[in-house]
Structure 1
Amino acid sequence: MTEGERKLWLELREFRRLYGIHVRRQAPLGPYIADFVIHERHLIIEVDGEHHFTATGHARDRKRDEWLASQGYKTLRFNTGELSDSFDGCVEEILRELGLMTGSEVTPTPNLSPQGGGGLC
């Protein structure tokens, strides 16, 4: 796991406590393994390293994204540079995709149980 993936995972695993959204790491989906997935929202979050920026890498990612889309999943991709240079912006993009952020404001969530989840997952 890269430093960017590690930092993003630390943030994403708090989504259950903060928003009642369970994020899985390194989750199998058919023939693929997603870096991060939120099944109940059909959202995949991928962190792309340098090998994704070759012609072969682009083709592989396109094929993978098409298959995942055929299964009802949307893929958000961030490269390691984006996570390094604009980590908060990447997290905000995820929150917007989940409908938890409009403009620059995070949408409040219902009170959750102390164990998290609050029956929302």
Structure 2
Amino acid sequence: MDKAKHLRSSMTPEEIRLWYLLRGRRFYGFKFRRQMPIGPWIVDFACFKTRLIVELDGGQHQDDEEYDLRRTAYLNAQGWRVIRFWNNEFRVNEEGVLMAILKHLNS
């Protein structure tokens, strides 16, 4: 749990912005948690009601695609859906990312 606490205090600017938009049921009434441990992994944002995980990935994820694939496979096997966005994608198309998240929440 200490790692999750550390991650909450060292979020990227993109994660901070997305958390501002998702927190407190601000996003269409959906409740999200941030830097949430699920099994052996810590996910960026999780909506338990819809079993949706939202990940914002920085450049470090380009170097270890297999890690992300293993992680996603585990989370899928636990009944979670995982959607990923690049930090840059969120920076340049915030509204498009939010609409994609909403679409997955409602599906």
User: Shorter-chain TM-score: what band?
Assistant: 0.7 to 0.9
Stretches of structure 1 lacking an aligned partner (at least 5 in a row): 101-121
Number of residue pairs the alignment of both structures matches = 97
**Residue 2 (structure 1) aligns with:** 12
Following superposition, which runs of at least 4 residues in structure 1 exceed 6 angstroms of deviation? none
Q: Which has the higher helix share?
A: 2
* TM-score normalized with structure 1 length: 0.76
Q: Which residue of 1 aligns with 2:54?
A: 45
Instruction: List alignment gaps of at least 5 residues for structure 2.
Output: 1-10
* Superimposed CA distance per residue, residues 33-89 of structure 1 (whole angstroms, 9 cap, x where no aligned partner): 0100001101000010111001xx100000000000000001010111101110110
Aligned to 1:81: 88
Taking structure 2 as the reference length, the TM-score comes to 0.85
Measured on the aligned residues, the alpha-carbon RMSD in Å equals 1.4
Q: Which residue, 96, 99, 102 being the options, matches 2:106?
A: 99
Structure ranking higher on relative contact order (CA contacts 8 Å, 6+ apart): 1
Q: Percent identity?
A: 39
- Residue 23 of structure 2 corresponds to 13
The C-alpha deviation readout for 1:75-104, integer Å capped at 9, x for no partner, is: 01011110111011000000111128xxxx
Whether the aligned pair in 1 keeps the contact of 2:34 and 2:44 (CA below 8 Å) is yes
Q: Which has the larger radius of gyration?
A: 1
Alpha carbons 2:15, 2:56 under 8 Å: kept: yes
